[in-house]
């Protein structure tokens, strides 16, 4: 007979940014009745507790920042966060230093609120990991890949290589875009791959960026320069997949020459100070976000184009909604893993996700080409937005994640 499974209220499959933030939301300082949580990740325990640089930095919106404050992680992040004070969007015409600004957002469009802060993902990981590892309510199981799932009537049981079995009243799938938990539950996805890839890395420059983010819409895709602390910026360079592969193969000098053509000279001399990473880009949405004993969050639920830097922010919105739904249910003495309870989570999150996915897809299609008719239409549309103060304020608040029915954590409230 097999060993009995270790039992938890919640088992989280995957300890990436979303899995860790989920554990922090359910068992950290923001929740009055902490859950008993197990988080499982296949990564080597040494790299899991000391995350490596992955080339990425995240734009943390104003509502996501409030949530990170409630989770108790913002104070440790604040010194590593750079406020985005200005966002300039340009079209593809002209040399790098003479691209006309199509849209210009500043703090005046959302007074008193910085729309976002840039934080390198490696800091986000390590600060979230610290909160989770400190919680007496969380068991961290790193270095264990889940290789089987059993969705039972009262719990979901997962099998881990070498450790045995772990059961949760609720399994939360946070195991990324190729989620094995999602596949095991038979949840299908819809979407497509983009013929583009995103190259990310960090640069140092002589000039001060003054908190200005720039997104240049080039024919192959957006080229984003995002302010980091000090005289540094994070680059997200979207290219056609084949050329992105060639760029990744280039030696540093050839790569730098290609990069400088797009970066321009506004910030003076510029140097690459990190390795380059290349990510395939796709749009993918799970057909269900919840089922009996299962909820999907983060990239397991949805992957969107990084054009607006919203992926992890969408994950935080999932986490805030799911944590509130299960906390409310537990307070009423309900079973947190039933589809009746989890349906509320699904309804709360699906529409927002589909809207963001459609918007990012539409903007990418509209801009990532050199069609002159489309160019005139988009220039006219953005020109109108740029001159209409009220419309800009609405855009700014949407981008900051401050519109719609916000879960409590995104307003900085405890559960």
Ligand X SMILES: Cc1cc2nc3c(=O)[nH]c(=O)nc-3n(C[C@H](O)[C@H](O)[C@H](O)COP(=O)(O)OP(=O)(O)OC[C@H]3O[C@@H](n4cnc5c(N)ncnc54)[C@H](O)[C@@H]3O)c2cc1C
Nearer to ligand X, 147 or 340 (CB): 147
Q: Which residue is nearest to ligand X (CB)?
A: 16
Shortest CB 271 distance to ligand X, Å: 21
What do you get for the CA distance between the two ends of the chain, in Å? 41
Nearer to ligand X, 13 or 87 (CB): 13
Residues 6 or more apart from 183 whose CB is under 8 A from it?
Answer: none
Nearer to ligand X, 15 or 330 (CB): 15
- Residues in contact with ligand X by CB under 6 A are 13-19, 40-43, 56, 58-59, 145-146, 174-176, 180, 198, 200, 236, 279, 298-299, 306, 309-313, 315
Residues 6 or more apart from 396 whose CB is under 8 A from it?
Answer: 105, 109, 110, 115
Q: How far apart (Å, rounded) are the C-alpha atoms in residues 124 and 80?
A: 9
Nearer to ligand X, 51 or 337 (CB): 51
Alpha helices in 221-294 (DSSP H): 241-249, 252-263
Q: How far apart (Å, rounded) are the C-alpha atoms in residues 302 and 393?
A: 27
Nearer to ligand X, 215 or 375 (CB): 215
If you ran DSSP here, which 8-state letter would residue 208 be given?
Answer: -
Shortest CB 345 distance to ligand X, Å: 16
Nearer to ligand X, 167 or 329 (CB): 167
Shortest CB 18 distance to ligand X, Å: 3
**Token pair in block for residue 162:** 């070498």
Evaluate whether 197 touches 256 at the Cβ level (below 8 Å): no
Helix (H) or strand (E) holding 230: none
Nearer to ligand X, 19 or 34 (CB): 19
Q: How far apart (Å, rounded) are the C-alpha atoms in residues 117 and 387?
A: 25
Shortest CB 172 distance to ligand X, Å: 11
Shortest CB 340 distance to ligand X, Å: 26
Shortest CB 280 distance to ligand X, Å: 8
Q: How far apart (Å, rounded) are the C-alpha atoms in residues 381 and 369?
A: 16
Evaluate whether 313 touches 21 at the Cβ level (below 8 Å): no
For 112, how many CA atoms within 13 A lie in the half-sphere containing its CB? Answer: 0
Shortest CB 87 distance to ligand X, Å: 12
């Amino acid at each position: 007979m097999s060993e009995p499974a270790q039992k938890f209220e919640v088992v989280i499959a995957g300890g990436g940014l979303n899995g860790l933030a989920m554990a922090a939301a359910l068992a950290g300082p923001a929740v009055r009745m902490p859950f008993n949580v197990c988080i499982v990740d296949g990564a080597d325990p040494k790299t899991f507790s000391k995350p490596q640089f992955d080339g990425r930095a995240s734009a943390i919106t104003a509502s996501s920042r409030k949530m990170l404050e409630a989770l108790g992680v913002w104070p440790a992040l604040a010194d590593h966060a750079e406020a985005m004070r200005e966002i300039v969007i340009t079209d593809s015409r002209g040399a790098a230093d003479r691209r006309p600004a199509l849209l210009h957002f500043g703090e005046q469009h959302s007074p008193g609120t910085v729309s976002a802060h840039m934080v390198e993902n490696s800091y986000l990981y390590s600060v979230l990991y610290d909160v989770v590892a400190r919680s007496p309510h969380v068991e961290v199981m790193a270095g264990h890949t889940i290789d089987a799932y059993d969705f039972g009537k009262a719990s979901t049981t997962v099998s881990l290589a070498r450790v045995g079995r772990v059961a949760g009243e609720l399994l939360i799938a946070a195991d990324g875009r190729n989620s094995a938990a999602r596949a095991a539950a038979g949840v299908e996805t819809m979407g497509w791959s983009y013929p583009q890839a995103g190259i990310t890395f960090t640069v140092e420059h002589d000039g001060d960026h003054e908190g200005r983010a720039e997104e240049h819409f080039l024919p192959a895709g957006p080229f984003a320069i995002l302010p980091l602390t000090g005289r540094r910026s994070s680059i997200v360079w979207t290219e056609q997949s084949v050329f992105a592969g060639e760029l990744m193969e280039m030696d540093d000098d050839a790569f730098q020459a290609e990069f400088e053509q797009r970066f321009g000279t506004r910030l003076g001399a510029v140097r690459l100070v990190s390795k380059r990473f290349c990510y395939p880009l796709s749009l993918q949405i799970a057909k269900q976000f919840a089922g009996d004993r299962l909820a999907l969050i983060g990239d397991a639920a949805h992957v969107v184009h990084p054009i607006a830097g919203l992926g992890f922010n969408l994950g935080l919105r999932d986490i805030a909604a799911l944590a509130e739904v299960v906390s409310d249910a537990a307070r009423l003495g309900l079973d947190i893993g039933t589809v009746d309870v989890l349906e509320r989570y699904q309804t709360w999150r699906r529409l927002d996700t589909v809207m963001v996915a459609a918007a990012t897809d539409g903007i990418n299609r509209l801009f990532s080409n050199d069609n002159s008719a489309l160019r005139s239409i988009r220039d006219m549309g953005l020109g109108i937005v740029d001159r209409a103060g009220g419309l800009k304020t609405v855009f700014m608040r949407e981008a900051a994640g401050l519109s719609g029915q916000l879960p409590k954590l995104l307003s900085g409230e405890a559960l």
